[in-house]
Structure 1
Amino acid sequence: MAIAQPQGLRPHMHAAARVTAPALTKLGPVSSRILPSLVVLGAAYTVGTYVRSQLNREAGAMDRIFAQQNTPEVEKARKQQLQVETNGDPRNNLFNFLGWS
């Protein structure tokens, strides 16, 4: 059984439910557009910096490994196997963007 309420009257509300948020938490229209952009740019910069540092670390590790194997005999065998004189050196290829410095 529901109690009928007269039209136009609202059910009782607590005083805490009627209090609006303080003006300090409400962002202005300019900062509400700028803040999300700054958060996205900051996150992208952080991820980019992390990826760059990891690539530099791995490149240094690979350089140390290849420096140990970079002897004249190995270079001669590599040039012969890859036919560097005929096809060109693949290290100078446009698609070798990881080797760019």
Structure 2
Amino acid sequence: MAITHPQGLRPHMHAAARVTAPAITKLGPVSSRILPSLVVLGAAYTVGTYVRSQLKREAGAMDRIFSQQNTPEVEQARKAALQVEANGDPRNNLLNLLGWS
């Protein structure tokens, strides 16, 4: 039985109601769980690689600067100022994490 308008006409359908939804391919249950993980891991790897390359570049620049300033006169002044003979060399300290290679 069709529902009719009081004047005997069928009610007007909105244009949005006539448009059919596009066919969406459904991912399998396995790929719907794996794909977001792969995206996150890929992004983390990309960021980690970028940070590592920047740290290597900056370390190389600092090594070049320090190698230019590492003369015997500078070393003698450093040993005298830090009292290396009395207190030990701070470069060999266990807490010197940045000096480890």
Q: TM-score, normalised by structure 1?
A: 0.73
Q: For 1:51 and 1:87, how far apart are their aligned partners in 2?
A: 36
Which residue does 2:30 correspond to in 1?
30
Which residue does 2:67 correspond to in 1?
67
Q: Which deviates the most, 38-47 or 85-94?
A: 85-94
**What CA RMSD, in Å, does the superposition of the two structures yield over aligned residues?**
2.1
Q: For 1:68 and 1:39, how far apart are their aligned partners in 2?
A: 44
Work out which of the two has the higher radius of gyration on C-alpha atoms and give 1 or 2: 2
Counterpart amino acid of 2:100? Answer: W
Q: For 1:77 and 1:34, how far apart are their aligned partners in 2?
A: 59
Which residue does 2:9 correspond to in 1?
none
Q: For 2:95 and 2:42, how far apart are their aligned partners in 1?
A: 30
For the residue of structure 1 that corresponds to 2:94, the secondary structure is coil
Structure 2: tracts of 5 or more residues without a match? 6-11
The percent identity for this pair of structures is 80
TM-aligned CA deviation for residue 29 of structure 1: 1.0
Counterpart amino acid of 1:29? Answer: P
Which residue does 2:87 correspond to in 1?
87
For the residue of structure 1 that corresponds to 2:64, the secondary structure is helix
The alignment status of 1:40 with 2:20, answered yes or no, reads no
TM-aligned CA deviation for residue 64 of structure 1: 0.7
Q: Which deviates the most, 82-91 or 33-42?
A: 82-91
Q: For each residue in 1:40-73, what CA deviation from the matched residue of structure 2 results, as whole angstroms up to 9, or x when unmatched? A: 1111111111111111111111111111111111
Shift of the 36–66 alpha-carbon distance from structure 1 to 2, 3 Å rule, reads same
The 4+ residue runs of structure 1 with deviation greater than 4 A are: none
Q: For 2:45 and 2:69, how far apart are their aligned partners in 1?
A: 36
